[in-house]
A = this chain, B = another copy of it.
Amino acid sequence: MTASKQRQATASENSLMRIFTVPEAPESTLSRIEQALSQDLAGFLTQNIAALEKPLSEIEKDFQAFEIPRQPRFVSDYTEEMMQNLVAHSVHTAAPSFIGHMTSALPYFVLPLSKMMVGLNQNLVKIETSKAFTPLERQVLGMMHHLIYGETTDFYHQWMHSANHALGAFCSGGTVANITALWIARNQLLKADDEFRGINREGLGAALCHYGWKGLAILVSERGHYSLGKAADLLGIGRDNIVSIATDANNKVDVDAMREAATKLARQGIRVMAIVGVAGTTETGNIDPLPELAELATELNCHFHVDAAWGGASLLSSKYRHLLKGIEMADSVTIDAHKQMYVPMGAGMVLFKQPELARAIVHHAEYILRKGSKDLGSQTLEGSRPGMAMLVHACMQIIGKEGYEILINNSLEKARFFAGLIEQHSEFELVSPPELCLLTYRWCPSWAQTALNRQLAQGNLEKVKEINGILDDLTRAIQKKQREQGKSFVSRTRIQPARYHRETVTVFRVVLANPLTTDTILADVLNEQTELAASETGLLQVLKQACC
């Protein structure tokens, strides 16, 4: 091996190197697009995302090639192609009339800041590749911790930047946050003891053997998020050991039923490792009775986790934070900043009441995450990950508590306003009223409601089921056509309302998180649905016959 000078670069090499050194020309396609994005994001999205829906099978035709292309391509050519094939057929998640997602319009400043974040290309796994981003992320976690737990000044001064402690963990989203919380709960319960080196070292089989339990269980409302099932699978607990507990008429978990389930499990030799409270169910937006769950967790001597991935942002409202009363008793809490905190996708967090909690999953490695270092990677599920915490930091500072107070209050009040519209409208039925800013409803004209009431009063549940089945078909048809027309969007889901004796019905689901959604837009959504219902002549006839 000789240390001779490397050979001279060829022409094609030199041209390639330009992509690392020379910026896009200001007149190029990509520059023009970027300017349009900066000057008017909403306008850019409206103009470039096709209003009319193209079937997925058609879109896929543009993504058939399976070989990485040989030849390099001009940036402009590629960009133009992607504007047509990708951007045009993406989803306008920021549209004020698209009220079926947990997404919203974004504050303009997150765009240039995201670009800066990408340009800085920090890796938050360790100080060495993130430096100031590490204390920044710890501060974001500290602020979220304070929002939930409101500990003293001393507490934060002592723990927020402590190498061997963590007030939380930042991650890509609520699923990883929930998994992290339950991983900690499992490892804390099955910790080293006597000769047993702990589940983290010996594994779950040995741990159950040592502690003399047949299995572990997690108790959660039947409205719990599917990520909990994923966590139970991943952690070796098993999906069947996520014990689903019935909810009351308001979609809140029945704590007595949960207590009974725990007793039953104990008799079977199954240890309840955690109970999970839901603070904002994904499908109906309701909040479990958190203080009672905290009490039950104390009785059972188990971990109490609260999944507030979506609902947690409501803590930012001093007017409505009482709805989440008891959350400060949770051992861990999941909150997604990319939901109602107006941060772009990819910003999840789990917060820990006790700064020692994360020790149950601490790990070290030779070249990084050395013991005593402040490397964040030693306490997170993910390894390398970007500096998304910067965008949460920016939103918290620029919007401020006062700004969030307005945004959250407006969301909740807009949902109440929309619920009122639905209730007063003769063609709609409010199925679950909003506790936060999420509600469900369906198209169900007064004559169908009258028929349902009559059949319910007569205890004729088969007939109720038949009518609801037709209404389900209508809900699906209306939702699909509305989506395809591209003017507005509500999502749909299936729930089991107490009013219909817990039979499953299909409903529209609406999340009013976008500050740009107006009263008029909400009225228009109902008008469009009324028209779409009227156009379903076949189904309408069947419904009429069933309602006679």
| In the complex, per-residue mask of A98-110: 1 if CB is within 8 Å of any chain B CB, else 0 | 0011010111111
Q: Is B71 touching A384 in the complex (CB atoms < 8 A)?
A: no
Bound CA–CA A81/B180 (angstroms): 33
Q: Is B238 touching A199 in the complex (CB atoms < 8 A)?
A: yes
Q: Is A382 touching B200 in the complex (CB atoms < 8 A)?
A: no
Tell me how far the C-beta of A211 lies from the nearest C-beta in chain B, rounded to whole angstroms. 11
| In the complex, per-residue mask of A405-416: 1 if CB is within 8 Å of any chain B CB, else 0 | 011001001101
Quick one: given A38-B34, A172-B172, are A69 and B401 in contact (CB under 8 Å)? yes
Is A135's CB within 8 Å of the partner chain B? yes
| In the complex, per-residue mask of A173-217: 1 if CB is within 8 Å of any chain B CB, else 0 | 111100100010011000000000101111111101000001110
Is A499's CB within 8 Å of the partner chain B? no
Q: Is A123 touching B161 in the complex (CB atoms < 8 A)?
A: no
Bound CA–CA A183/B235 (angstroms): 9
6 A-B pairs in the complex with CB atoms less than 8 angstroms apart: A21-B105, A60-B161, A63-B136, A87-B120, A93-B121, A183-B233
Is A64's CB within 8 Å of the partner chain B? yes
Tell me how far the C-beta of A397 lies from the nearest C-beta in chain B, rounded to whole angstroms. 5
Neighbouring B residues of A462 by C-beta, 8 Å: none
Bound CA–CA A73/B118 (angstroms): 23
Q: Which residue of B lies closest to A282 (CB)?
A: B367
Q: Is A108 touching B282 in the complex (CB atoms < 8 A)?
A: no
Q: Is B424 touching A20 in the complex (CB atoms < 8 A)?
A: no
Neighbouring B residues of A509 by C-beta, 8 Å: 367
A90's contact among B22, B78, B131, by CB below 8 Å, is which? B131
Copies of the polypeptide in the assembly: 2
Q: Which one, A40-48, A467-475, A540-548, is touching chain B? A: A40-48
Is A477's CB within 8 Å of the partner chain B? no
Bound CA–CA A227/B161 (angstroms): 24
Bound CA–CA A491/B367 (angstroms): 8
Bound CA–CA A433/B1 (angstroms): 10
Q: Is A398 touching B23 in the complex (CB atoms < 8 A)?
A: no
Pick from A1, A109, A197, A400 the residue with the most CB of B within 10 Å.
A1
Bound CA–CA A384/B21 (angstroms): 34
Q: Is B119 touching A106 in the complex (CB atoms < 8 A)?
A: yes
Q: Which one, A5-13, A351-359, A441-449, is touching chain B? A: A5-13
Neighbouring B residues of A200 by C-beta, 8 Å: 233, 238-239
Q: Is A101 touching B128 in the complex (CB atoms < 8 A)?
A: yes
Quick one: given A139-B65, A156-B66, are A406 and B283 in contact (CB under 8 Å)? no
Neighbouring B residues of A161 by C-beta, 8 Å: 60, 63
Q: Which one, A257-265, A289-297, A324-332, A338-346, is touching chain B? A: A338-346
Q: Is B90 touching A157 in the complex (CB atoms < 8 A)?
A: no
Is A111's CB within 8 Å of the partner chain B? yes
Q: Is A20 touching B108 in the complex (CB atoms < 8 A)?
A: yes
Bound CA–CA A23/B237 (angstroms): 49
Q: Is A215 touching B226 in the complex (CB atoms < 8 A)?
A: no
Bound CA–CA A235/B75 (angstroms): 43
Q: Which one, A140-148, A245-253, A298-306, A451-459, is touching chain B? A: A140-148
Tell me how far the C-beta of A429 lies from the nearest C-beta in chain B, rounded to whole angstroms. 14
Bound CA–CA A31/B197 (angstroms): 55
Q: A34-B115, A69-B396, A173-B382 are in contact. List 20 more A-B contacts (CB 8 A).
A: A2-B424, A3-B420, A5-B519, A16-B407, A66-B139, A67-B143, A70-B400, A72-B399, A74-B398, A75-B109, A87-B116, A90-B131, A106-B118, A121-B344, A173-B385, A174-B384, A203-B215, A235-B235, A346-B346, A348-B384
